[in-house]
Structure 1
């Protein structure tokens, strides 16, 4: 430590003063190396007197007249005057002089060989401040030579905790490429030349007038060219460095570091502007850019390329054997994924919507429901996810034309087509031969069960959302879930749907249009709860918002002794009535809330059986209904009217509508008619939403989910999916190598996805190659589909048989190394053919 310098001086001076006779010592510190330290000297038997060029005579009087007994250290922070000009020349004759060489003291402290004294003396100004000296000492360099001393000095100036030149560069670059304070510090202490010297040695960066911008351009373009697997334009050759392996490892560590990621991105943006990246990269074929992730604007180029293919309906386009969807999925996991993931999801879902532009539905109602259950529902999911992700894109102007295309396909080629076919064919008598009806829900799914069952009724939780909920449960090791369709009531609105889910012998819609079950009202939760308890006294119901606020004990108290519990959850419908454009956000939140309450009830009250269902579904389109899409007013004042249905004493026969008897739906003797639009059109009525509607006879409104969920109270053993190296890897003879891997098993209920960091390193754990991040998440049961290839480039350096090298695979989430293999690197001409140029 720096304090040791002072301790050495103290010990030496105290030895000099440890005499019987009076001792006076003069210390001329011409370089003022100890001017800050002198006040901290602890002299046991002497006084310290500060000499200045102006107090020479005063000092002589002090020593020879005023105090002739005390020992004195006379500290003079200036050059010793010649005898003619020195009033103390005769005093010095009978006194002693002390000489302190800071460089020698430092070398003695740190055990630096005398051969490197000139190096220390060259930068002695650095050691004038205690804080700088302390930082140098704290680096604890293992072996001192010219290189390690200079790198330690650079490291101390940038306040690095380790003496590592690449870390110095990262810290320097993070401070900015112009008017950099660290470069000013290097210049102040004569270390700027050393900084550029080690840039040449480490990265092969050579420039007659080096600066941080040109260094950054060189680093990033070298990285980019190696990801492109082709050459950059000849005018940029001067920027491409001869040590790509070292450069890629350096950039990878900066990109993947939480400390330096933001700085890297700022540098990347600056470099891209300076080199006019758009002009450079727009001329390359997309296959050369597909792996480049060092500039975020490459994502913009790829996104525009995919957009062009979608507009041209060139859905079979491939890049390096990757489909358009595969291209988007691969880019989602590149460095700038947080900026572009939603954009790629927009493209992926638009792709699948365009793929279904020639949609043709089945021509009978049974097959329609079956195919909706199997695949048609996906189109609604693609549309929902298209807008869910689009709404998260800050600047979505590039997708305006795509929105028009998606709206046209979804509404005109799918929604209206399937709605017309489904509405025209809708027949409850035919459907009940294969599918269960919502009005029989209690009898089919609740009654007769032994043990407790919890029913979660989520308002407007349509079928395709139920499908996604089941998929999400697959990642929960405590849960088993499956789904089946149930045919909801018509009209598909809340009052009737909620009543249909209660135990009943008959359901009726009164003259005032209120809904009754076995003669009892159902308009609020208390009334519905009375019906539940009339069937089974050990029943109860509760609102989700009330339940979620309960403590564990309060939950236990509420559920104690109860066999059937209805939980009423209202996220989607409630949000739709307050902010229609947030409906798809609400769908996502609803799924998470349902998963969360099931988890809490499993943990808190040991509940294990759940049914998730809905009162009705919904139709949502982002474009608002035009007047031409509204069916003109034809109904009478006494009719019950809604944007998607009318209940009337009169069986209107209006073009574009379907009429059905209430009795056909509810199995009673009600001869009133239910009139619904056969497409996604709405009736001209007062109020109501423009985008979110329900009540009609489309499959999106009528087919509701029955999600059966079973949980376990103890943890089911799960593990992360593993990956293995397929390629033989023992001796490496080339700086470039391509390795094959396999994901050992498909992701499933008990095998979870995992993210791995794959790299080569030396025995000290230092990176000697680029670092690949791979997300193992394939669900394919075919092993050939789970094989993948990664490319590595080793640093350009000398590899010796004395040092050990390893190939490692590490779990990013846990930091646990799951695979390590020692490798032999036998490359004859690494490190610029052995010459330091």
Structure 2
């Protein structure tokens, strides 16, 4: 025996003595007698058993050192229990034998009766010291051969001892083009162990190749919706959990993309109907194919908005929705716009400017909103080519079916007006008197956010976004009618305190009661004349205020000017990005409001200087008037002219300045309908200054910041709860008790069944409850929970359906509710 082996045996004996006080070593024939005689282990006495059982027992039990360890060595075979006079001590001991298998078994804490089936059967595994060290920490005395082998698999694969985790590890290695773990499984005689259990666990009995297994799992997951399921429930649960896994989900996507190409999945699904595609989650091409189907439906107007919304609701929380999300959402917005135009513009009659103004505020604005939303999504679309035909339809229908039709109804009413005034509508020049003054006279601090070119439809969405913020209460005030022309210099002046607006110089500079309103500094002076403790400030500077609470104390009224939308739209090179700028302005205004909240502000008014017209496509020659601007010009744009001695024309409506609420002595010309006046170098798709409803309807939003939280979440209950589980596939219905609104948020729940030991025994599903439907049937969702095959082993026991809610701004879940069920499954239900 070499010194290394001797040291190893002595080391094992020392470790065993630390765990048990007695070691019995039966060495039939006495081959290790000389070695035993040479042993010197501190605190351990070596006793030789040779027909002296009573003497040894007395020596051990009557000793004065109860902590002393003993090695009882015998050169004979172990006696039968009935002849073993030291049996009472032996059952408290660790048996030991000096062959390497026994040494390894003892070192790892494996019972000697399992040595042959574990240590000897996988000898190469135990020859590696690192393996022995790792397996020792994972074993318990209750483990059988199967459980120990599972732990050995986990050591080799460097993962948890579950078949899901083992398969993830082997799948990852295969995806990376490696086979180190698989080679070690073969070397250690563990490969059969894994594959035999895979056959039981997944029902897979094909070639013992990881890629083949993965292919079959993916194919089975794809075909199960057509009733072609050939594997167990565990296989379905495995695939679902893999898709949803935070740790392994990216690997699932890599495998899915790889197999989609290798197996020509997209081609094989080309003949699937939309209804057949909707339940499938296996491959990324499915959502692209769904988008193709929807494109045809939208182009042919054969699907309603509600039907497409239902599809989006079903797909948007699935793992591959993102590959076609913008495309599908663009198609939904296109259908919404087209349906609105069809319903609202057919037989449209407007009897007065007042009626037309209110009609736009109540209904027609939504067409502009969906048009904007379409291009917001389309510009981010994963497949813009797929939308080419839809974009053409959207642009043509929006321009011809909406803008032109609206202009044809609206412009004659404007032509008949003697003065620019609409009954029962507040004039923009009276903004301060109607909306600001009531706060000032009551000494209530007020913040006024003026967003350049934030039109009415955008404010409707802005209101919805702000209202969702905790402690924010929003109220849309009746819209105002803008000044004419509807452009920045005049609109900004109209929002200040004023009795008269005028042009005092031959330049584009508006005066309020004789004071210039050009620029923030001059607007501040105008405010100070009315309210001593007031301030006009640019939004960029406002957001830089580091101590808002202290800063705001010095002011009763603060006007904040934001210029994101108009700055983008008024530039010929960037006008096509105006809808993207609108999204940026949403975030900008929310930051301003958050700064106000941090400074303990409570009352905010959000408004605009004017709206705008925008057409995404390049304009035709017919969109430009041949009208020639002539006279003493103060300023002119594509939509208006201001000056004196202006030459009139049929393409424009000419107003005396006093008829549009300005000081006498000037003239204003407004291009009729949607017409653009030719002007060198300026943009033509984004315009304002005219009298179209999109330009002159000015929104006003009041935001009140509450002290108490006012945002809650919907409640979700189990419908018609049965107390028993009778099959391996159990349908459970869930009911969202409230409608999602601005102040009632949706709820994301992760749900699954657990046994009394807390082990998951079904698939785990994530469901989102965010329905805004008032129809209670639309707020019900169902899921078929699929149980693992050992469910019948729990017969007569109680299991729980655990519902966990997703925490806000987190990927973590916390317990929401639990419901108890008793298992009563017939054994044959497993097959």
Partner of 2:164: 166
> By how many angstroms is 1:735 displaced?
2.0
Please identify, of 527-536 and 722-731, the stretch whose mean Cα deviation from structure 2 is larger. Answer: 722-731
Partner of 1:766: 759
Cα deviation code 1:377-405 (max 9, x no counterpart): 11111111111122222442211111111
* Distance in 2 of aligned mates of 1:818 and 1:542: 47
Please identify, of 362-371 and 519-528, the stretch whose mean Cα deviation from structure 2 is larger. Answer: 362-371
TM-score by length of 1: 0.83
> By how many angstroms is 1:13 displaced?
12
Equivalent in 700, 705, 712 of residue 699 of structure 2: 705
> By how many angstroms is 1:731 displaced?
1.4
Partner of 1:596: 591
> By how many angstroms is 1:650 displaced?
4.8
> By how many angstroms is 1:349 displaced?
0.1
Give SS of 1:527's match: helix
- Is the 2:485–2:668 contact (alpha carbons within 8 Å) kept by the matching residues of 1? no
* Distance in 2 of aligned mates of 1:223 and 1:763: 29
> By how many angstroms is 1:503 displaced?
0.6
Partner of 1:215: 213
> By how many angstroms is 1:424 displaced?
3.5
Equivalent positions of 1:383-782 (< 5 A) are 383-426=371-414, 427=417, 429=419, 431-449=421-439, 450=442, 451-483=444-476, 484-510=478-504, 511-552=506-547, 555-576=548-569, 577=571, 579-604=574-599, 606-632=600-626, 634-636=628-630, 638-639=632-633, 640-650=635-645, 652-679=647-674, 681-712=675-706, 714-782=707-775
With over 3 angstroms needed to count, the CA separation of the structure-2 counterparts of 1:702 and 1:13, relative to structure 1, is closer
Give SS of 2:790's match: coil
Matched, 1:784 2:777: yes
* Distance in 1 of aligned mates of 2:320 and 2:141: 38
* Distance in 1 of aligned mates of 2:379 and 2:180: 41
Cα deviation code 1:573-603 (max 9, x no counterpart): 2233363333222212212222222222123
Cα deviation code 1:21-44 (max 9, x no counterpart): xx99789xxxxxxxxxxxxx9998
> By how many angstroms is 1:102 displaced?
4.1
Matched, 1:826 2:787: no
Partner of 1:231: 227
Cα deviation code 1:747-795 (max 9, x no counterpart): 2344221111122222343332232222111233443332222222222
Equivalent positions of 1:57-72 (< 5 A) are none
> By how many angstroms is 1:728 displaced?
2.5
Partner of 2:339: 355
* Distance in 2 of aligned mates of 1:809 and 1:288: 29
* Distance in 2 of aligned mates of 1:825 and 1:745: 32
> By how many angstroms is 1:350 displaced?
0.8
Partner of 1:339: 323
Give SS of 2:767's match: strand
> By how many angstroms is 1:803 displaced?
5.1
With over 3 angstroms needed to count, the CA separation of the structure-2 counterparts of 1:690 and 1:190, relative to structure 1, is farther
Please identify, of 576-585 and 151-160, the stretch whose mean Cα deviation from structure 2 is larger. Answer: 576-585
* Distance in 2 of aligned mates of 1:103 and 1:407: 82
> By how many angstroms is 1:195 displaced?
1.9
Equivalent in 295, 298, 312 of residue 286 of structure 2: 298
Equivalent in 271, 274, 277 of residue 259 of structure 2: 271
- Is the 1:473–1:479 contact (alpha carbons within 8 Å) kept by the matching residues of 2? yes
Cα deviation code 1:142-178 (max 9, x no counterpart): 7422321222111111211x32121111222133345
> By how many angstroms is 1:256 displaced?
1.2
* Distance in 2 of aligned mates of 1:766 and 1:537: 69
> By how many angstroms is 1:634 displaced?
0.9
Partner of 1:77: none
Cα deviation code 1:76-108 (max 9, x no counterpart): xxxxxxxxxxxxxxxxxxxxxx94524543356
With over 3 angstroms needed to count, the CA separation of the structure-2 counterparts of 1:613 and 1:366, relative to structure 1, is same
- Is the 1:103–1:117 contact (alpha carbons within 8 Å) kept by the matching residues of 2? no
Cα deviation code 1:160-199 (max 9, x no counterpart): 1x32121111222133345444323322333222221111
More relative contact order in 1 or in 2 (CA 8 Å, sep 6+)?
1
With over 3 angstroms needed to count, the CA separation of the structure-2 counterparts of 1:634 and 1:749, relative to structure 1, is closer
Partner of 2:74: none
* Distance in 1 of aligned mates of 2:134 and 2:564: 57
Give SS of 1:708's match: strand
Give SS of 2:761's match: coil
* Distance in 1 of aligned mates of 2:671 and 2:661: 16
* Distance in 1 of aligned mates of 2:9 and 2:528: 88
* Distance in 1 of aligned mates of 2:763 and 2:462: 39
> By how many angstroms is 1:313 displaced?
1.5
Cα deviation code 1:552-591 (max 9, x no counterpart): 2xx2343223211101111212233363333222212212
Give SS of 1:824's match: strand
Please identify, of 124-133 and 537-546, the stretch whose mean Cα deviation from structure 2 is larger. Answer: 124-133
Partner of 2:309: 325
* Distance in 1 of aligned mates of 2:610 and 2:220: 58
- Is the 2:614–2:686 contact (alpha carbons within 8 Å) kept by the matching residues of 1? yes
* Distance in 2 of aligned mates of 1:101 and 1:545: 77
Give SS of 1:763's match: coil
* Distance in 1 of aligned mates of 2:671 and 2:581: 26
> By how many angstroms is 1:715 displaced?
3.0
With over 3 angstroms needed to count, the CA separation of the structure-2 counterparts of 1:505 and 1:143, relative to structure 1, is same
> By how many angstroms is 1:111 displaced?
4.2
Please identify, of 247-256 and 172-181, the stretch whose mean Cα deviation from structure 2 is larger. Answer: 172-181
> By how many angstroms is 1:459 displaced?
0.9
TM-score by length of 2: 0.83
Partner of 2:230: 241
With over 3 angstroms needed to count, the CA separation of the structure-2 counterparts of 1:613 and 1:169, relative to structure 1, is same
* Distance in 2 of aligned mates of 1:440 and 1:499: 11
Please identify, of 133-142 and 488-497, the stretch whose mean Cα deviation from structure 2 is larger. Answer: 133-142
Partner of 2:183: 184
- Is the 1:460–1:615 contact (alpha carbons within 8 Å) kept by the matching residues of 2? yes
Give SS of 2:792's match: coil
* Distance in 1 of aligned mates of 2:658 and 2:692: 19
Equivalent positions of 1:33-182 (< 5 A) are 99-107=98-106, 109-112=108-111, 114-140=113-139, 143-160=142-159, 162-177=160-175, 178-182=177-181
Matched residue count: 739
